[in-house]
Amino acid sequence: MMNKNLNNKIYKNTMDSIKISDDAVEKAVKNLKQPDVIGKTIEVKKPKYRIFKPIGAVAAVLALIIGAGAIFNLGNMPDKGANNSFFITANAASTDDEPVKITNEFTTIGTITPSIESNASTSIVLSSLKVVADINFNCVGNNVKTVTYKVKNGDSDGVICLFDYNTKVVDYGKVKKMFQNGYSGAMKNGVYGRYLYYDYATFDYDNQLDPDDGAQIAVGYKPTSTKEAIKMQSFLNEINDMDHKSSDMNLKEVKERIKEFYQTVFRNTEVVVTATYKDGSTESKTLKLGINNIIIYDEQDNEITNETGLYRKYYDYKLIMTAKLA
């Protein structure tokens, strides 16, 4: 019987066996005491006791208040006096992107690197092509007890996709059929399953996911015609070709095709957010996702490939995503 703990144990035991020799440690300690090493010393700050200064403390408190206001975006908070209201913020799961309030206009919510889950080698797999976009959603409101997220993608599937560690859902719907292969099997055995694909997921308002947990959405894509499937397949092949950087790639054209690919994948995607208030009433808002632009950039592996003896170079890309209220 295989389980996650066992695998972790095997991995950890193996890593434990990598130990440095005592000689090497003693050598490092000995080197430390060499005069020429000390000669290279630059200023090392020792902690010093500081005299408490009331003016400094007042300034610090003020800075804290201003900082907290900026962090929690107090200007956008719902009116405390108002009853039963909420709005949604979203941001790419990145340390740099601040959550933005979703309005009636398309607003940039961040730059993401989507994951495509497909073998991507035959047109048949297009019927099970899944794209995961790491976007965090958050609900800000008054009297909200729980928040439920549900993804719709037209005739295809969409799911709320959560990291299997640190998940704090209070309620969830079953895994959709399209997402039962592969990952759900891994999840069932509790082994290295990355995602939990929920039909919907409900969180306590006071215990919503933070960016660390990586609340994401996954969208299943189904082509509407054979023609579209062939077209999407060629786009997908082109995206895969970026791994083998070649000088004859027309990046402008590649960019357009990537954009069209994701616009097609996300064209019917909507995230329905339902707030259940403390008095038992509910309110729903629907978000639409969009692609604003594509950024293509150079990447280089740190390892030399056996084939060429050179560092492998390739192109990678990011999507600038937008969202608005439907």
Partner 1 sequence: MEKFVDEKKIEEIIRQYADMIYRIAFQNVKNRTDAEDIFQEVCLLLVTKNAPIYDPLHIRNWLIRVTINKCNNFYKSFWQHNSEPLEETLACFQPEQQELLSEIMKLPKNYRNIIYLYYYEGYKISEIAKMLNLNLNTVSSRLCRARNKLKTILIEGGFNDE
Radius of gyration for the chain, computed over Cα atoms and rounded to the nearest angstrom: 25
Encoded tokens for 246: 């070649």
Residue 310 interacts with partner 1 (CB under 8 A): yes or no: no
Out of 49, 71, 95, 306, name the contact with partner 1 by CB under 8 A. 95
Look at the block and give the residue holding tokens 């899944």.
130
Nearer to partner 1 by Cβ, of 35 and 280: the residue is 35
- Looking at residue 166, the DSSP 8-state letter turns out to be S
Residue 129 interacts with partner 1 (CB under 8 A): yes or no: no
**How many residues in the shown chain lie near partner 1 by CB under 8 A?**
57
Residues 212-251 that bind partner 1 (CB under 8 A): 212, 214
Distance CA 77, CA 294 (A): 32
Residues 106-125 that bind partner 1 (CB under 8 A): 111-113, 115
Residue 27 interacts with partner 1 (CB under 8 A): yes or no: yes
The answer to whether 312 touches 182, Cβ cutoff 8 Å, is: no
CB 277 to partner 1: min, Å = 31
Q: How many CB atoms lie within 10 A of CB 81?
A: 6
Encoded tokens for 291: 């692609």
Distance CA 311, CA 300 (A): 7
Look at the block and give the residue holding tokens 């808002």.
285
Nearer to partner 1 by Cβ, of 46 and 80: the residue is 46
CB 14 to partner 1: min, Å = 5
Nearer to partner 1 by Cβ, of 130 and 223: the residue is 130
Nearer to partner 1 by Cβ, of 44 and 51: the residue is 44
CB 21 to partner 1: min, Å = 7
Nearer to partner 1 by Cβ, of 12 and 101: the residue is 12
Distance CA 275, CA 291 (A): 26
For residue 28, what are the CA distances in angstroms to 6, 22, 33, 62, 200?
35, 10, 9, 47, 55
Out of 54, 102, 191, 325, name the contact with partner 1 by CB under 8 A. 191
The answer to whether 136 touches 100, Cβ cutoff 8 Å, is: no
Distance CA 88, CA 102 (A): 6
Name the burial class of residue 324, with classes exposed (0-12), middle (13-18) and buried (19+) by CB atoms within 10 angstroms of its CB.
middle
Nearer to partner 1 by Cβ, of 144 and 236: the residue is 236
Out of 168, 194, 255, 313, name the contact with partner 1 by CB under 8 A. 194
CB 322 to partner 1: min, Å = 17
For the chain, the maximum distance between any two Cα atoms, rounded to a whole number of angstroms, is: 75
Encoded tokens for 297: 């950039």
CB 142 to partner 1: min, Å = 29
Which is nearest to 92 in space by CA: 113, 111, 73?
111
CB 136 to partner 1: min, Å = 10
Out of 123, 142, 145, 186, name the contact with partner 1 by CB under 8 A. 186
Encoded tokens for 167: 């998940």
Residue 77 interacts with partner 1 (CB under 8 A): yes or no: no
Residues 276-305 that bind partner 1 (CB under 8 A): 301-304
CA distance from start to end of the chain: 48
Out of 88, 93, 196, 289, name the contact with partner 1 by CB under 8 A. 93
Residue 44 interacts with partner 1 (CB under 8 A): yes or no: yes
Site residues, partner 1 (CB under 8 A): 1-2, 6-8, 10-15, 17-21, 24-25, 27-29, 31-33, 37-38, 40-47, 92-95, 111-113, 115, 134, 163, 186, 191-192, 194-195, 211-212, 214, 301-304, 318
